[in-house]
């Protein structure tokens, strides 16, 4: 059987860990709020008004913090769900179970016996392939019809004065591996103005 635990760096797993961090912080904040709430009750019962007030403020602060985190977590979940364009409800359910809840195909099958483990494995494999897609950002060779009028050195010069050769090489590698989206840079008006000015300067 394929090893389904070898993709810990995938964007799906990272999103799952991010949601986990939200959950841990919400739990911590909720319990802190509960502790201060109990301190408020105790202080009030003993007639310690100032201490009770401080505890109440702390309880409210931690409660608001927990609620805000919960809202942000729910927004992220909704954003992830809305981003899964092209997947039906069953596939989305598998995506969340595998990448977010970190369940194996066999564990997902136990949750929903109507979906066979083999089907889950095929769906997960296809989803992992989808997330492996990169922007087609490899710079075309000079002379190609669609070659941009700039290169990695131009971008490095735009981002900082006197870029080192290592920095330029790093940017070129980023282009070659599809990390940088050329289309986005082509639409950056400030960068394109910089390139135009540079070309004019070269002609002069």
Count the Cβ atoms, other than its own, within 10 Å of residue 76: 14
Quick one: 192 and 120 in the same domain? no
- Arithmetic mean of pLDDT, 69-96: 87
- Express each pLDDT in 124-171 by its tens digit: 888 877 776 554 445 555 444 455 677 788 888 887 777 788 778 877
Q: Exposed, middle or buried by CB within 10 Å (0-12, 13-18, 19+), for 190?
A: exposed
Residue ranges making up the domain that contains 114: 87-133
What is the pLDDT of the chain when averaged over all its residues?
A: 78
Count the Cβ atoms, other than its own, within 10 Å of residue 203: 5
Q: Is the pLDDT of residue 104 over 90?
A: no
Quick one: 75 and 91 in the same domain? no
Q: How far apart are CA 13 and CA 130, in angstroms?
A: 14
Quick one: 77 and 97 in the same domain? no
The pLDDT of residue 34: 94
- Arithmetic mean of pLDDT, 59-66: 92
The pLDDT of residue 37: 92
- Arithmetic mean of pLDDT, 82-110: 85
Q: Is the pLDDT of residue 194 over 90?
A: no
Q: Is the pLDDT of residue 6 over 60?
A: no
User: Which band of pLDDT confidence, cut at 50, 70 and 90, is reported for residue 70?
Assistant: very high
The pLDDT of residue 148: 64
Quick one: 48 and 70 in the same domain? yes
Quick one: 9 and 37 in the same domain? yes
Contacts of 10 (CB under 8 A, 6+ apart): 99, 128, 131
Instruction: Tell me the pTM.
Output: 0.55
Q: What total number of domains does the chain contain?
A: 3
């Amino acid at each position: 059987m394929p090893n389904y635990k070898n993709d810990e760096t995938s964007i799906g797993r990272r999103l799952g860990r991010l949601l986990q961090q939200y959950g841990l912080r919400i739990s911590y904040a909720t319990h802190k709020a509960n502790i201060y709430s109990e301190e408020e009750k105790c202080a009030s019962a003993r007639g310690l008004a100032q201490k009770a007030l401080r505890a109440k403020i702390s309880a409210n602060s931690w409660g608001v913090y927990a609620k805000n985190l919960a809202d942000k977590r729910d927004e992220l979940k909704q954003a992830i769900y809305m981003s899964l364009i092209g997947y039906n409800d069953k596939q989305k359910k598998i995506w969340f179970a595998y990448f977010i809840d970190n369940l194996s195909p066999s564990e997902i099958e136990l949750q929903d016996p109507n979906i066979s483990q083999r089907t889950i494995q095929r769906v997960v494999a296809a989803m992992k392939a989808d997330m492996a897609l990169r922007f087609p950002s490899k710079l075309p060779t000079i002379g190609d019809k669609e070659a941009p009028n700039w290169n990695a050195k131009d971008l490095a010069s735009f981002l900082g004065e006197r870029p080192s050769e290592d920095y330029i090489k790093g940017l070129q590698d980023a282009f070659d591996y599809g990390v940088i989206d050329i289309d986005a840079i082509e639409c950056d008006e400030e960068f394109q103005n910089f390139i135009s000015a540079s070309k004019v300067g070269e002609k002069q």
